[in-house]
Structure 1
Amino acid sequence: MQGYNLLMIYNEAMDRLLMCRRLKDPYKGLSNFVGGKIEPGEPGMDAAYRELREETGVSREDVVLHHVMDFKYYLQDCYVEVYAGRLKRDVAVSGDENELYWSDLEQNFFDMTRFAGEGNIGHMVEQVKLYRSLLLND
C-alpha cells in the first residue's frame, strides 16, 4: 500500500495557511496542501519533514509537526498521513513543484471547484481549528 502525506503549515500568527496550486494531475489547477510520497520503510514523520523541505524550503528547525489524522483508501490501495504545524518565525517559502501561496482562513475550504480532495481539505482545516491550542503551545 503506497503512503502519502499532506502538510498543513500555518504561519506564526496562525491566521494564514500554506497552500499550493497544483500544476499537474490529479487536481491540476486546484489548491491543496503540500506533501508527497512516503518512501518504503521511511517513518511517516521523517517523510513529512523531508517533503516539507523539498517542496517549500521549510526545515525541521522552523516548525514542529503534529500527526493529526490519516485517511486510508482501500480501493486505491493507498493511505494519506496528515500533519499540521505552526511556523516558529517568519520563513520565506519557495518551491518549483507547485505554485505556493498563503491563504487566509476565511475561505470555503469545502469548495471542490477551488480545493482538491473532495471536501477533505475543509474537514482537515475544521479538525485543526478544534485542537488549535495544541499547535499554539509549540
Structure 2
Amino acid sequence: MQGYNVLMVYNKGMDKLLMCERLKNPYKGLSNLVGGKIENGETGKDAAYRELLEETNISSEDIILHHLMDFKYYLQDCYVEVYVGRLRRDVSVIGDENILYWSDLDHNFFDMSLYAGEGNIGHMIEQVNYVKDRLFSDEDSLV
C-alpha cells in the first residue's frame, strides 16, 4: 500500500494556510495543500519534513509538525497521513513544483471547483480548529 502525506502549514498568527495551485494532474489548476510520497523505509514524519523542505524550503527549524489524522483508501491501495504545524517565524516559501501562496481562512474549502481533495481540505481545517488551542499551546513557550 503506497503512502502519501499532506502538510497543513499555518503562519505564525494562525490566520493563513499555505496552499499551492496544482500545475499538473491530478487536480491541475485547483488549490491544494503541499505534500508527496512516503518512500520505502521512510517514516511518515521523516517524509513529511522532507517533502516540506523540497516543496517549500521550510525546514524542521521553522516548524513542528504534528500527526493529525490519516485517510485510508482500500480500493485505491493507498493511505494519506495528514500533518499540521504552525511556523515559528515568518519564512519565505520557495518551490517550483506548484505555485505556492498563503490563503486566508475565510474561504469555502469544501468547494470542489476550487480545491482539490473532494472536500477533505475543509474537513481537515475544521479538525484543526477543534484542537488548535491544545495542539499549539505548548509551542507558545518555545517561540
Q: Classify the TM-score, shorter chain.
A: over 0.9
What TM-score comes out, normalization by structure 1 length?
0.99
Q: Specify the alignment match of 2:99 in structure 1.
A: 99
Q: Give, in whole Å, the separation in 1 of the partners of 2:40 and 2:17.
A: 29
Does residue 129 in structure 1 map to residue 129 in structure 2?
Answer: yes
2 CA distance for matches of 1:100 and 1:74? Answer: 31
Aligned-partner SS, 1:121: helix
Secondary structure of the equivalent of 2:25?
A: coil
Unpaired runs of 5+ residues, structure 1, are none
Paired with 1:2 and 1:32, the residues of 2 have a C-alpha distance of 20
1:136 Cα deviation from its structure 2 partner? 4.2
Aligned to 1:7: 7
Per the alignment, residue 108 of structure 1 pairs with 108
Q: How does 1:14-29 map to 2 (within 5 A)?
A: 14-29=14-29
The C-alpha deviation readout for 1:51-109, integer Å capped at 9, x for no partner, is 00000000000000000000000111000000000000000001000000000000100
For structure 2, which runs of at least 5 residues remain unmatched after alignment?
none
Structure 1 distance, partners of 2:137, 2:93, is 21
Are 1:86 and 1:136, in contact at CA under 8 Å, matched by a contact in 2?
no
What are the Cα deviations for residues 111-133 of structure 1, in whole angstroms up to 9, with x where unaligned? Answer: 00000000001000000000111
Amino acid in the other structure paired with 1:101: Y
Separation in 1, partners of 2:53, 2:21: 17
Q: Which residue of the partner structure matches residue 78 of structure 1?
A: 78
SS of equivalent to 2:79: strand
Q: Distance in 1 between matches of 2:127 and 2:58?
A: 23
Structure 1 vs Structure 2 CA RMSD = 0.6
Residue equivalent to 1:57: 57
Report SS of the residue matched to 1:75. Answer: helix
Number of matched residues?
138
CA distance in 1, matches of 2:64, 2:84: 8
How far, CA to CA, are the matches of 1:33 and 1:136 in structure 2?
24
Structure 1 Cα separation of the partners of residues 138 and 127 of structure 2:
17
C-alpha deviation, 1:41, in angstroms? 1.3
Q: Any conservation in 2 of the 1:22–1:28 contact (CA below 8 Å)? A: yes
